[in-house]
A = this chain, B = another copy of it.
């Protein structure tokens, strides 16, 4: 099936492979009149670009975006916004070591089973470079959300066993350190942990947290298109994500109703509308699949990078046991570069759900058509 399109009213359709000619995305359904330029998108792409620290691959890619359509005189026209990033680092590589071998933790085996063969160059479509289209589209969505007073911010909550401390939490830090952790101390500790991993030819995983502020109550469609269900889908569709939780998430499952319920209050706590407040936010801003006006809180678990330099047991296409050592430099952790991808997927999904929600009440439909 066509699995490369996301969204209902605001959609993105991505394409491209790691070592093909390039990667791109077509964003359709963006409301007309939004100020948009390449720089808006480039800022987001730069955050996922390789080569930013000793913890990311040394692949040389400028990842310069070109907007091909849908923008006229600096504003979106309502027609599809097509964006492309050309691959530049297409040196002829020697893929003989992996073309017939199934790398553990990668999708080599499953692509072969599904399609009969695969583009084995650098992971093809299952490469992390596939997220370029997501991030470019997310940048457009973030621009739209900003017009509506909504901000989406993600950061690393934990790296391997190192978790951000609630006490030291400082969001400003996240944009200042290379690991995107909102806690300078934890970040330094995580760097030491990653150095150990690299020395051991091993890799680490981590947890990305994303918060959405300014989202009004009422967004999300009951039953199957709940806001949390859509966000879970969006975020779980990012390669290497193995778990998603909202608010207290798995911790809520071990708690009690009296503690987990968030009291509504006439005053105190965070205001969610016209003087109504919530005393706490265990729900992570979503009740019954619909935003409650409070901050949306989501966490995504990323598995450790599967590409490690130490020898691993595996099989080739004929099912014979072979040993593989994955050469070249690979990110020992993908979390810092994945932060912007989570942000992009959440922003895009929230924006789409906001557009979907516009017709929830007859009163709103009349507001548009009867003037």
Contacts and interface: CB of A to CB of B under 8 A. Distances in A.
A361 B77 contact: no
A304 B217 contact: no
A237 B224 contact: yes
Nearest to A11: B2
Contacts of A291: 110
B104 A261 contact: yes
A221 B224 CA distance: 19
Contacts of A3: 28-29, 221-226
Assembly stoichiometry (copies): 4
A177 interface: no
A275 B315 CA distance: 10
A288 B107 contact: yes
A331 to B, nearest CB: 11
B254 A160 contact: yes
B116 A361 contact: yes
Interface stretch (A47-55, A56-64, A179-187, A245-253): A245-253
Interface residues of A, number: 169
A314 B218 contact: no
Interface in A79-124: 79-82, 84, 102, 104-107, 109-111, 113-119, 124
A327 interface: no
Contact of A287 (B110, B284, B315): B110
Contact of A4 (B28, B197, B354): B28
A300 B244 CA distance: 10
B315 A264 contact: yes
A15 B252 CA distance: 29
Given A290-B111, A360-B115, A79 B203 contact: no
Contacts of A236: 226, 228-229, 231-233, 244, 246
A256 B32 CA distance: 34
Contacts of A107: 222, 287-290
A306 interface: yes
A15 to B, nearest CB: 4
B21 A252 contact: no
A106 B80 CA distance: 20
Given A2-B29, A69-B15, A80-B14, A102 B359 contact: no
Contact of A29 (B1, B110, B160, B275): B1
A243 B312 CA distance: 32
A302 to B, nearest CB: 6
Contacts of A358: 355, 358-359, 364-365, 368
A16 B369 contact: no
Given A2-B28, A16-B68, A252-B304, 9 more contacts: A4-B79, A15-B28, A77-B124, A107-B290, A149-B369, A160-B255, A203-B257, A243-B244, A358-B359
Report the 9 A-B pairs with minimum CB-CB distance, sorted nearest first.
A107-B288, A3-B221, A243-B245, A3-B225, A203-B257, A233-B233, A2-B29, A110-B290, A32-B115
20 contacts: A1-B29, A3-B225, A4-B79, A16-B68, A16-B69, A17-B72, A24-B82, A32-B116, A33-B362, A77-B118, A107-B290, A111-B222, A160-B254, A204-B256, A224-B234, A244-B245, A258-B310, A260-B306, A265-B321, A276-B315
